[in-house]
Chain A
Amino acid sequence: MPEILHTPLEARHTAAGAQLTEFGGWMMPLRYGSDLAEHAAVRERAGLFDLSHMAELRVRGAEAGAFLDHALAGRLSALELGQARYTLLLAESGGILDDLIVYRLGASEWLVVANAGNRAVVAEALAERVAGFDATVVDETEEIALVAVQGPASQAIVEAIGLESSPLDELGYYRVLEAVFEGEDVLVARTGYTGEDGFELYVPAHAASDLWDALVRVGTPMGLQPCGLAARDTLRLEAGMPLYGHELSTETLPAQVGVGRSVALRTKGDFVGREAVEAGPAADAPVLVGLVAEGRRAGRAGYPVLDGDAEVGVVTSGALSPTLGHPIAMALVTPGHSGSLAIDVRGTRIPVTIVDLPFYRRQERA
């Protein structure tokens, strides 16, 4: 087993009473107190997340754009400066090796952000696929800390820490800008994984504690609450956002799991996995659906989905929705079902209804 990695903020988490857990090779805060309170803070005010476990790979070079177009499923060369995109790293088979956020930072510079647990897979695939291109890939995961502020009060909080930057009002969704915090370069991205407006701040690891402290100081009076992985998971589930290892895997093609739009079939040339994605999944391959139930008892990852007595799929993520107050789940089920199914919850059939994703959508800003 490789050594467990520690975020530069671990001492802050411990001091705040966080329950730590191993996740993706890192010790991460699971919750600080009540995960329901943390979840509610993000929906109603703001939550503060340490996401330093996420992997950052910097791609530079004259042919960096062409390389990313070849290596990934999206047309990243088409990003404008300061634009971000959700994209996928595919295997030749079309299966998903990871889902990524890619930022364009310069004429010949991009930042690829991968899931902690897939860091090695992504680094290896990119190192292999860069051969023949005038470009370099550098894994900067341990030099970069990532802190996210998510929720309706997030803009006011990030503004209040005294960044030297252009006005955040002008920073659109899925855009990133360069800023300075106490002499340190910071990337401020209007991205996130909670279904709320929010910011992800990429900072040098040695500056993470000062940034965290500043956010806590100005944010606490505005209702900012440090949040752990437990809240992050229920937030993203309500927002219908897929999670690697649950909805996404090497066994699933993008079209099965609702991320087919991330694959730039029409607008770009060849890329790894193109042939398989073009051929598409088998007609009877399972598709991702949203399920809702009444009551309080949730179907959870791995539980069977039933149509009558037939097992037609499996839950990929499920919980009692803190915001909606009823159980929600995403599941991979064989195509063609409509209306009513059931989840086998440890021997009890819970009736569920198929619904469109997401389960929760925030009110747009006025």
Chain B
Amino acid sequence: MTTQYTADHEWVRAEGDAHVLGVTEHAQQQLGDVVYVDLPEVGRTFSSGEAIGEIESTKSVGELFAPADGEVVAVNDEVAGDPTLVNQDAEGAGWLVKVRFTSEPELLDAAAYQATLS
């Protein structure tokens, strides 16, 4: 499955008619040890650019921004219980939410995202 990225350091992957979202490997490295994640409730609707979650490390707070309008259809309860999953596997087991978009997100491919980091 192709993973795409946002300029706000999230990754997005289509799964059926929904999309899985998380923070990128680069973002977790910048954050340091993640000690708390605050995830939205299932059913919450959001607009593009809205912060729908928070990822706190010992040093700082990162936000999960919605790349389009939509609705939360699932959240990763495992990562809520063990926030270190974000550090261990940011773009896999450390996924944060599943959403259904109602507008088209503007996403970057891996190469374009990598280019924003340098």
Chain A interface (Cβ < 8 Å from any Cβ of B): 19, 30-31, 34-36, 39, 230, 233-234, 296-298, 300, 319-320, 322, 346
CB 8 Å contact bits of B26-41 with A (1 = contact, 0 = none): 0001101101101000
Q: Please state if B36 and A319 are interface contacts (CB–CB under 8 Å).
A: no
Most buried by A among B29, B57, B58, B61: B58
B56 within 8 A of A: yes
User: CB-nearest residue of chain B relative to A298?
Assistant: B56
Q: Please state if B33 and A319 are interface contacts (CB–CB under 8 Å).
A: no
User: Total A-B residue pairs with C-beta atoms closer than 8 Å?
Assistant: 40
Bound Cα distance from A296 to B32, whole angstroms: 16
Q: Please state if A319 and B29 are interface contacts (CB–CB under 8 Å).
A: no
Q: Please state if B35 and A320 are interface contacts (CB–CB under 8 Å).
A: yes
Q: Please state if A35 and B54 are interface contacts (CB–CB under 8 Å).
A: no
Q: Please state if B36 and A346 are interface contacts (CB–CB under 8 Å).
A: no
The residues of A that contact B32 with a CB separation of less than 8 Å are: 30-31, 34-35, 230
CB distance from A235 to the nearest CB of B (A): 11
The residues of A that contact B57 with a CB separation of less than 8 Å are: 35
Bound Cα distance from A270 to B70, whole angstroms: 67
Chain B interface (Cβ < 8 Å from any Cβ of A): 29-30, 32-33, 35-36, 38, 54, 56-61, 87
User: CB-nearest residue of chain A relative to B83?
Assistant: A296
Most buried by B among A30, A39, A320: A320
Q: Please state if A297 and B38 are interface contacts (CB–CB under 8 Å).
A: yes
Bound Cα distance from A163 to B16, whole angstroms: 66
Q: Please state if B58 and A322 are interface contacts (CB–CB under 8 Å).
A: yes
The residues of B that contact A34 with a CB separation of less than 8 Å are: 32-33, 87
Bound Cα distance from A300 to B61, whole angstroms: 9
The residues of B that contact A31 with a CB separation of less than 8 Å are: 32
CB distance from B30 to the nearest CB of A (A): 8
Bound Cα distance from A35 to B30, whole angstroms: 12
Q: Of A19, A230, A297, A346, which one neighbours B58 at CB under 8 angstroms?
A: A230
Known: A234-B58, A298-B56, A346-B54. A36 touches B38 (CB 8 A): no
Known: A296-B36, A300-B61, A319-B58. 13 other contacts (CB 8 A): A19-B29, A31-B32, A34-B87, A35-B58, A35-B59, A36-B35, A230-B59, A234-B58, A296-B35, A297-B36, A298-B36, A300-B60, A320-B36
CB distance from B117 to the nearest CB of A (A): 13
Bound Cα distance from A320 to B59, whole angstroms: 9
CB distance from B62 to the nearest CB of A (A): 12
Q: Please state if A233 and B33 are interface contacts (CB–CB under 8 Å).
A: no
Bound Cα distance from A304 to B4, whole angstroms: 37
User: CB-nearest residue of chain B relative to A37?
Assistant: B33
Most buried by A among B32, B38, B57, B87: B32
The 5 closest A-B pairs by CB, nearest first: A296-B36, A36-B33, A320-B35, A35-B32, A230-B59
Bound Cα distance from A116 to B36, whole angstroms: 32
User: CB-nearest residue of chain A relative to B54?
Assistant: A346
The residues of A that contact B60 with a CB separation of less than 8 Å are: 300
CB distance from A324 to the nearest CB of B (A): 12
Q: Please state if A35 and B33 are interface contacts (CB–CB under 8 Å).
A: yes
The residues of A that contact B54 with a CB separation of less than 8 Å are: 346
Q: Please state if B56 and A297 are interface contacts (CB–CB under 8 Å).
A: yes
CB distance from A23 to the nearest CB of B (A): 12
The residues of A that contact B61 with a CB separation of less than 8 Å are: 300, 346
User: CB-nearest residue of chain B relative to A230?
Assistant: B59
Bound Cα distance from A319 to B58, whole angstroms: 6
Q: Please state if A36 and B58 are interface contacts (CB–CB under 8 Å).
A: yes
For this complex, 23 residue pairs linking A to B, each with C-beta atoms less than 8 Å apart, are: A19-B30, A30-B32, A31-B32, A34-B32, A34-B33, A34-B87, A35-B33, A35-B57, A35-B58, A35-B59, A230-B32, A230-B58, A230-B59, A233-B59, A296-B36, A297-B38, A297-B56, A298-B56, A300-B60, A319-B59, A320-B36, A322-B58, A346-B54
The residues of B that contact A230 with a CB separation of less than 8 Å are: 32, 58-59
CB distance from A70 to the nearest CB of B (A): 39
The residues of A that contact B36 with a CB separation of less than 8 Å are: 296-298, 320
User: CB-nearest residue of chain B relative to A348?
Assistant: B38
User: CB-nearest residue of chain B relative to A34?
Assistant: B33
Q: Please state if B29 and A320 are interface contacts (CB–CB under 8 Å).
A: no
Bound Cα distance from A344 to B16, whole angstroms: 39
The residues of A that contact B38 with a CB separation of less than 8 Å are: 297
CB distance from A345 to the nearest CB of B (A): 9
Bound Cα distance from A233 to B58, whole angstroms: 10
